């Protein structure tokens, strides 16, 4: 009696080394295991979905099959793309700032992909994607073992880690488990910032409030009382600056008594009707312009980051409803 093997072969190689899935396989052709190169049997019946079966083997494991299939599949996909035989695979990531999902294609200048390539750092990458002799991207396949921290830090080239099982199943959509691809360029963030800058410039003109280029982080809202668009500001709270603020503040930041708070504080007032735009609303209500915003430090980099955050907050769907 033949002992049934528990080795699963989702994709087999044909005699040209091309990966074939069971639904595209042809009865009578020869197919091989990507893990150990043993011939596999193609089964196609009337009821069951077609599948490949693997003989019992000491030289093969499910882990090896997934790992080698994923590597080979990536090389095949990138090669097809380089030869203009297929679209680029998509690198699918969420923007770290706005959380929107972005799909990036590989660069059009990519020329090849190779398995098991030694890098200048001494590490061996599962797959490298190259532009001529230059390595543009290394891909690590995770089956059971993730890339360790030392390798992640010292690998020396942009890289991403992909799940072997997901590559075998969805080849063209690469969802990194980990990535070091350099700066994330997000069109959505860029659009939000441009829109925010446009709007606050227009509101500054309409309200005759000078737009501060530093220190005061600017957003906008509709005045709760007169329903006009106005600017509101947030700023770093450092004691020694507090004394200086009087000299540099926009005219709509004033010390005002707040009934809700029960005391006076330096806050934003409406340039049309002088109503205080309470800090509680600005910072704590989900549709407030500073909701979940923590003003950073008094330096240019922090100012830029904060303006980006405010643009993203201003562009949230439930904020847009007031426009
Ligand atoms: Zn095998
Ligand atoms: Zn973004
Ligand atoms: Zn008002």
- What is the residue-level pLDDT of the chain in tens, covering all 323 positions? 456 678 999 999 999 999 999 999 999 999 999 999 999 999 988 888 999 999 988 889 999 999 999 999 999 999 999 999 999 999 999 998 888 999 999 999 999 999 998 999 999 999 999 999 999 999 999 998 888 888 888 889 999 999 999 999 988 999 999 999 877 888 899 999 999 999 999 999 999 999 998 899 999 999 999 999 999 999 998 766 777 788 889 999 999 999 888 999 999 999 999 999 999 999 999 999 999 999 999 999 999 999 999 999 998 877 654 54
Q: How many CA atoms lie within 13 A of 37 on its CB side?
A: 3
Handedness of CA 180, 182, 185, 189 (dihedral sign): positive
Give the ligand whose atoms come closest to the C-alpha of residue 99: 2
From ligand 1's centre to the CA of 5, what distance in Å? 10
Give the ligand whose atoms come closest to the C-alpha of residue 101: 2
Beta strands in the chain (DSSP E): 8-9, 12-13, 19-20, 31-32, 39-43, 51-53, 90-94, 101-105, 112-118, 124-131, 134-142, 159-163, 173-174, 178-180, 217-222, 229-234, 253-258, 263-269, 276-277
Q: Using a CB cutoff of 5 Å, list residues around ligand 2, an ion.
A: 95, 97-98, 186, 188-189
Domains of the chain, first to last: 8-60 (no CATH), 66-180 (3.90.1570), 187-320 (no CATH)
Give the ligand whose atoms come closest to the C-alpha of residue 189: 2
From ligand 2's centre to the CA of 188, what distance in Å? 5
Predicted local confidence at residue 89, as pLDDT: 96
Q: Please tell me the distance from the alpha carbon of residue 173 to that of residue 160, in angstroms, as a whole number.
A: 13
Number of CB atoms found within 10 A of residue 276's CB = 20
Give the ligand whose atoms come closest to the C-alpha of residue 232: 3
Q: What is the pTM of this model?
A: 0.74
Q: Please tell me the distance from the alpha carbon of residue 201 to that of residue 252, in angstroms, as a whole number.
A: 15
């Amino acid at each position: 009696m033949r002992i049934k093997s528990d080795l699963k072969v989702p994709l087999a190689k044909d005699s040209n080394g091309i990966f074939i899935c069971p639904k595209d396989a042809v009865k009578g052709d020869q197919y091989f295991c990507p893990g150990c190169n043993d011939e596999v049997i193609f089964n196609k019946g009337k009821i069951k979905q077609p599948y490949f079966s693997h003989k019992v083997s000491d030289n093969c494991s499910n882990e090896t099959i997934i790992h080698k299939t994923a590597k080979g599949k990536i090389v095949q996909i990138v090669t097809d793309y380089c030869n203009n035989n297929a679209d680029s695979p998509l690198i699918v990531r969420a923007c770290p700032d706005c959380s929107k999902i972005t799909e990036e294609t590989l660069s059009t200048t990519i020329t090849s992909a190779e398995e098991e390539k030694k890098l200048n750092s001494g590490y061996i990458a599962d797959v490298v994607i190259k532009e001529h002799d230059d390595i543009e991207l290394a891909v690590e396949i995770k089956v059971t073992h993730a890339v360790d921290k030392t390798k992640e830090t010292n690998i020396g080239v942009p890289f991403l880690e992909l799940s072997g099982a997901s590559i075998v199943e969805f080849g063209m959509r690469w969802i990194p488990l980990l990535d070091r691809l350099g700066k994330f360029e997000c069109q959505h963030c860029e659009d939000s910032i441009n829109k925010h800058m446009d709007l606050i410039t227009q509101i500054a003109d309409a309200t005759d409030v000078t737009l501060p280029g530093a220190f005061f982080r600017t957003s906008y809202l509709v005045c709760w009382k007169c329903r006009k668009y106005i600017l509101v500001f947030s700023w770093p709270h450092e004691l020694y600056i507090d004394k200086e603020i009087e000299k540099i503040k926009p005219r709509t930041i004033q010390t005002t008594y707040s009934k809700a708070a029960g005391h006076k504080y330096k806050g934003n007032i409406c340039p049309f009707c002088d109503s205080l735009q309470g800090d509680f609303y600005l910072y704590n209500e989900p549709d407030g312009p500073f909701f979940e915003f923590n003003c950073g430090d008094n330096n240019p980099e922090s100012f830029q980051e904060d303006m980006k955050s405010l643009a993203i907050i201003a562009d949230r769907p439930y904020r847009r409803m007031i426009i």
